[in-house]
Structures are given as structure tokens and as C-alpha cells.
Amino acid sequence: MTSQPQYIPGIKFMPELRFAILGTGFWSRYQLAGWRELPGVKCVAAYNRTRAKAEALASAFDIPSVYDDPERLIQEIRPDFIDVITDVDTHRKFVELAARYRIPVVCQKPMAPSLTDAESMVITCRQAGVPLLINENWRWQTPLRELQRILTSGVIGNVFRARLDYCNSYPVFDNQPFLKNVERFILADIGSHIFDATRFLFGEAAWLCCQSHRVHPDIKGEDVATTMLQMRSGATVVCNMSYASRVEHEKFPETFAFVEGTEGSVELGPDYWIRTTTREGTIARRHAPPFYPWADSRYEVVHSSIVDCQRNLLQALRDGGKAETTGEDNLKTLKLVYAAYQSIAAGTIIRLNA
């Protein structure tokens, strides 16, 4: 049963939303911590195929019910929504399971391991009349939100060229050795974030071309990629991604940007500094992410953005409005990822449908 909120004069309350998580691995702790920062929402059940893992997380986060059967969880708990935090290869079956029971679903990024799966998830939820929301939090990073605000303000005029850089030497393969055997790596992993941020900042692309490299000799996939996108706005955007770059400012996992407009430029540099330059001079301000005690300090800009992303998703679930990162929107980002791979394979420009 939905709990009844305490009445406080002058404050309008809505019933608490009860949700269940499917998957209790590494990211689930940060997802749950993010939800707990928001009022009016509570996790009431957890599923994992290994029940002991679900029980451990439930104990840590005071989750009352644990399951190793996701369908039984849905039938008995009837949550208001489900948060899917499992491996990407299982996203489709869990999203479509929720859709069969007409339960709104939030899904971790990347949405799916293929365009076919992603399209099926979007279609299934649309036909069932069920919201499909994607927990794509990269665009919700504090410095990227401020960069978007500056661009929208028009202070640098019409954007004609930009660059987004995610380049570092972080030992990702030491922490996650299985990534060495992934045939499609940096574009599928980080590219889904960087391309989504590109769309958030500059709109949709008309065409793209991409080249990649495998610098680490003991991996299967690409660890470096450079993509040039021609945006429908007329701007040219270059996205650089690398886990093989030795740079002066080693600021994993920060994204840097440099944007040129007809009236000036804006640069997002290390340690969250944004410098806006016009004829009047340069204004420099630091836009650090908010502090949360549960966030890993090494990932602060990423972990803190979970809260603002989930706030947006929760508002959409409450009032029936549209979240920024829906399944249909994220499908556009995935199309850029797979178009980039197509460009690499064909050695040519890939034109994108409007």
C-alpha cells in the first residue's frame, strides 16, 4: 500500500512513489543513494539473480523485500515504477517485462546493446502506454548544465564550432579487466555519454564521420575515437574520446569543452572552471558539483549528477510530463554511436535521418 504523507500546512503533498530495483551490483548503491536524496520516493523491493547479493544491499539500504524472481516481485509488490540497473544485455527483457504489467520503467545507460533491442524497447513501451526513461546522467553534470545555460543565453552569439574532450589515461582495464575483451568499447561506453551531451548542447546532427584507434595492445576494442559531427544548426562539433592519452591535466572523469560563437567563446576546463570571452573581456567562474557524502570523491561530478537526473525523471513520473532522457530521446543518441561504428567500417561520412 502507498504510505500516507504527514500533512504540513501550506505544503502540497503527493503520494509517495514506491519503486523496485532490478540488479544490485556496483551502480545500484549510487542509484539508490541518489533516489534517497529526493522526497516522496522509496525503494520497497530489490531483485538479483543471486539472492545473497540482493539481501546484502537490502540490509544496507533498509529495503523490506528481496527477490530472485523479477516477475514474482512485480506480481506481489506492484511497484509504481521499476529501476533497471542490470547488465546491458538484460535491459530489453526487463523493460519489456515491466511493460507487460503496465509499470513505468527507468533503465540504466546504455539503453541496449543494439539498435534493434533499443527500438523494440521503445516500441513495446509506447504500445503499452508505459513511460520508458533512461538514467543518462552525464548531461546533468553541474559544469555541463552551466555551459548549456551560457550557450542558450546567446552571450557568445551563434555557435559555429565546438570541441568536446574526454581524454585521459585512467586505468579502466585494471579496474574492469573484462573490458579488454569487448569488441566495441569506447564509443559504446563513453560515446553514449559524450554524444548525448553533444545533442543536449548543440541539437541534432545531419551527418558524422569517425576514426578510431586501439592503442593498448592487449585489448579487442577501440580505446581512442574522434568523431566530427555536422549539426543541423550549422555548427561543426568534434568529439574526442580516449583512455590512452597522457595529458597535463589528468582530470578523470571530467569532460572539457571549447565552443566558438559569432560574438565570443566559452571554455570548460579542468576543475570545473568555465571561461566566457567576449569583446568585454573574459569572465571565469568555477562551477563545482554539489557534495554528497555517499559519492566517491574520484567520481564526484558523475555521481552527484545522478540526483538531478533522477529528480527530472521523478517529476515526469509524478505529473505525466516529459523527462529529458526518455527512451525515444536516448534512441537518437544510440543512433549516433552506431553511425560512428558504421563510419569507421566504411571509411566514409554517414548521413543521419532527421
pLDDT, one tens digit per residue, over 79-91 is: 999 999 999 999 9
pLDDT of residue 118: 97
Span of 156-160, 170-174, 328-332 with lowest mean pLDDT: 170-174
pLDDT for the residue 7: 36
Verify that 129 and 66 share a domain, yes or no.
Answer: yes
Structure-block grid coordinates of residue 354: 532527421
Whether 147 and 258 share a structural domain = yes
pLDDT value at residue 176: 82
Preceding amide of 270 cis, omega within 30: no
Task: Decide if 6 is inside a domain.
Answer: no
Least confident piece of the model among 88-97, 169-178, 257-266, 337-346: 169-178
273-278 and 264-268 as β-strands: parallel, antiparallel, unpaired?
A: antiparallel
Q: Where are the alpha helices (DSSP H) in 2-114?
A: 26-36, 51-61, 70-77, 91-100
Pick from 135, 165, 197: which residue ends a domain?
Answer: 135
pLDDT more than 90, % of the chain: 91
Question: Are 202 and 147 within one domain?
Answer: yes
* pLDDT reading at 294 higher than 60: yes
Dist. CA 18–CA 37, nearest whole Å: 15
> The domain containing residue 69 runs over which residues?
17-135
Cell of 140: 546533468
Which grid coordinates belong to 158? Answer: 551563434
Question: What's the pLDDT at 354?
Answer: 64
Are 143 and 131 found together in one domain?
Answer: no
The contacts of residue 39 (CB under 8 Å, 6+ apart) are none
Give me the pLDDT at residue 290, please. 97
Helix axis angle, 186-202 to 327-346, nearest 10°:
120
Do 143 and 83 belong together in one domain?
A: no
Q: Describe the crossing of helices 327-346 and 115-128 by its angle, rounded to 10 degrees.
A: 160
CB of 82 within 8 A of CB of 57?
A: no
Residue 108 shares a structural domain with residue 25? yes
42/125 same-domain check: yes
Same domain flag for 44 and 119 = yes
Asked if residue 248 is part of any domain, the answer here is yes
**Which of 135, 166, 184 finishes a domain?**
135
CB neighbour class for 231 (10 Å; exposed up to 12, middle 13-18, buried from 19): buried
Q: Average pLDDT for residues 199-212, to the nearest whole number?
A: 98
pLDDT tens for 20-73 read: 999 999 899 999 999 999 999 999 999 999 999 999 999 999 999 999 999 999
Per-residue model confidence (pLDDT) at position 321: 87
Answer yes or no: is pLDDT of 10 > 80: no
Cα R_g (the chain), whole angstroms:
21
Tell me: do 118 and 180 sit in the same domain.
Answer: no
Instruction: Tell whether 143 and 102 lie within a shared domain.
Output: no
The pLDDT of residue 250 is 86
Burial grade of 164 (CB within 10 A; 0-12, 13-18, 19 or more): buried
d(CA 278, CA 272): 20
CATH of the domain at 94: 3.40.50.720
On the question of pLDDT at 13 being above 90, the answer is no
CA-CA distance, 312 to 329, in Å (whole number)? 14
335, 348 contact by CB (below 8 A)? no
Task: Give yes or no for a contact between 261 and 249, defined as CB atoms under 8 angstroms apart.
Answer: no
Domain membership of residue 9 (yes or no) is: no
CATH code of the domain covering residue 157 = 3.30.360.10
Three cell numbers written together for 42: 522509496
In a domain, residue 70? The reply is yes
In a domain, 52, yes or no: yes
Q: Rounded mean pLDDT of the chain?
A: 94
Last residue of a domain, one of 101, 135, 169: 135
78 occurs within a structural domain:
yes
State pLDDT tens for residues 252-293.
999 999 999 999 999 999 999 999 999 999 999 999 999 999
- Among 70, 110, 228, residue whose Cα is nearest residue 163: 228
Reported as a pLDDT band with limits 50, 70 and 90, residue 11 is: very low
Residue 310 domain flag: no
Q: Is the dihedral of CA 236, 122, 83, 24 positive or negative?
A: negative
Q: Which cell is 43 given?
A: 525503494
Q: In whole angstroms, what is the distance from residue 207 CA to residue 231 CA? A: 7
Q: Are residues 109 and 197 in the same domain?
A: no
Same domain, 232 and 192: yes
Asked whether the beta carbons of 133 and 317 are under 8 A apart, the reply is: yes
pLDDT for residue 148: 98
Question: How many domains are contained in the chain?
Answer: 2
pLDDT over 80 at 336, yes or no = yes
Q: In this predicted model, what pLDDT tens digit does every residue of 136-167 receive, in sequence order?
A: 999 999 999 999 999 999 999 999 999 999 99
